[in-house]
Amino acid sequence: MAKNEELVFGIHAVNALLKAAPERFIEIWLLKGREDERLMPIINLARKYGLPAQMVNRKVLDDKSKGEQHQGVVARVKQGKQLSENDLDDIIAQAERNNTSPFLLILDGVTDPHNLGACLRNADAAGVHAIVVPKDNAAKITATVRKVAVGAAETVPLVQVTNLARTMKTLQKMGVWIIGTAGETDTCLYDVKLSGPMALVMGAEGKGMRRLTRENCDQLVKLPMAGSVSSLNVSVATGICLFEIVRQRLVN
């Protein structure tokens, strides 16, 4: 596979990318004998756009997806545009043009592709305008991330920045309030007003946010934990925090 190409697998991931950017598709492989109602939309879109689609046996799909759950479809596509800090101005301006307060999710050191995929899915459901991650030591969009995100990788922009602390300062100058989650604070998430332009920062499991990231937050909050477990999976905690922000936005 060429350097500027990638694989996409899974019904939701392939279907979402077909709808969003059919021009990126090079070829599609489908499980022979499986033309059920879940795969037919992909088959029909491939025909509509004149894309080469081959019916192959399961072993071919298993080999191409390296054993991951492909759900009977794998595609080879051209890589999409990678967003950087230079794109944040446009993302925030677009949100404001739509009369909505900018709503961002910042992930600091989340390296597990399954967690990134789940965070993308949460972000899409909560109406987040973009996810911001550092370029280094962070999960990137891969076939596994797309599969876990069930289509959200095509709807929520992933912005990779060179210096996360500097990007946070830039966002603050643009009027974005940055709230970070940290176990050592006494302030509970549910006791804080969460309205207006906002970015939620979630750190890696175990380590949490890095020191510079923590220092550049406007406020730190924690989730109340009643049981014996000291922390939640980062994607679960992200979903809880995002939807508390959504709840307060709906009330206000």
105 annotated binding-site participant: no
Q: What is the DSSP string of 46-78?
A: HHHTT--EEEE-HHHHHHHTTTS--TTEEEEEE
Type of residue found at 144:
T
Asked if residue 178 lies in contact with residue 201, where contact means CB atoms within 8 angstroms, the answer is yes
Asked if residue 179 lies in contact with residue 194, where contact means CB atoms within 8 angstroms, the answer is yes
189 annotated binding-site participant: no
Asked if residue 73 lies in contact with residue 29, where contact means CB atoms within 8 angstroms, the answer is yes
Q: Hunting for tokens 């925030």 — which residue is that?
A: 92
109 annotated binding-site participant: no
Type of residue found at 195:
S
Enter the DSSP assignment of 225: -
Dihedral sign, CA of 184, 187, 188, 192?
A: negative
Q: Residue 47, SS3?
A: helix
Q: Which residues are annotated as a binding site for S-adenosyl-L-methionine?
A: 203, 223, 232
Annotated binding site: 203, 223, 232
